[in-house]
Amino acid sequence: MTPTRFCIVRHGETDWNAEKRLQGQIDIALNAAGQAQAMAIRAHLKKAPAFAAVYSSDLARAWHTAEIATADMELAVLPTPTFRERHYGTHQGLTSAEAAHAHPAMYRLHQARDLHYAYDSGESLAAFAARIQDGLGALAEQHRGQAVLIFTHGGVLDIIYRLATQRPLDTPRDFPIPNAAINWLNHSNAGWLITLWGDQTHLKQTLDELL
């Protein structure tokens, strides 16, 4: 079986990323650095293999990254709410320090990566992981043997990395998920395999030329 190849890209930087403020499903636009990063992705993807389809979270920061990065492709970007960031409920819009002060008991559950904690009005880690796993599995079935491009968020990539490496959801993150980084995974009968993770080599060279 020819593996299905997934190129999965985190959106460019926003002001809230720079402030380390939890965005969740609040719609925050790319800042100037994020737009430049999207241009760098665009230059890099010119050298990538042909994709069968392009999917993106419909949140503005991912969608705008996708629009810029795929401007040279003859493919429409397909809005895919399945790949939205996790909904962090009461914690959305807060920094870690603000969340710890405003909701100390909830913040401890957040830090512990409690599987069933849903931030009062948000989404539990277990439900979020199931959403991403089901969505990715559906695309793997739909695009067998093809290459697929996805634009998404840091929390989504956290779940994808754990799915591919069979790492438990409730253990601390010890792997990078940089803005505008490129990640490649294969899917076959043997399951998921990461072939490249957190690649930022396209950013420095192209950003030096753009800025």
Tell me if residue 11 is catalytic.
yes
Cβ–Cβ < 8 Å for 37, 64: no
Give me the catalytic one of 13, 44, 64, 85: 85
Distance CA 186, CA 180 (A): 20
> Distances from the Cα of 125 to the Cαs of 25, 88, 116, in angstroms?
14, 10, 6
- HSE-CB of 56 using CA atoms within 13 angstroms: 24
Give me the catalytic one of 11, 64, 187, 202: 11
Please choose, from the candidates 193, 67, 187, 98, the residue with its C-alpha nearest in 3D space to the C-alpha of residue 137: 187
- HSE-CB of 108 using CA atoms within 13 angstroms: 2
Angle of helix 32-45 versus helix 60-69 axis, rounded to 10: 40
CA-based radius of gyration for the chain:
17
As annotated, the active-site residues are: 11, 85
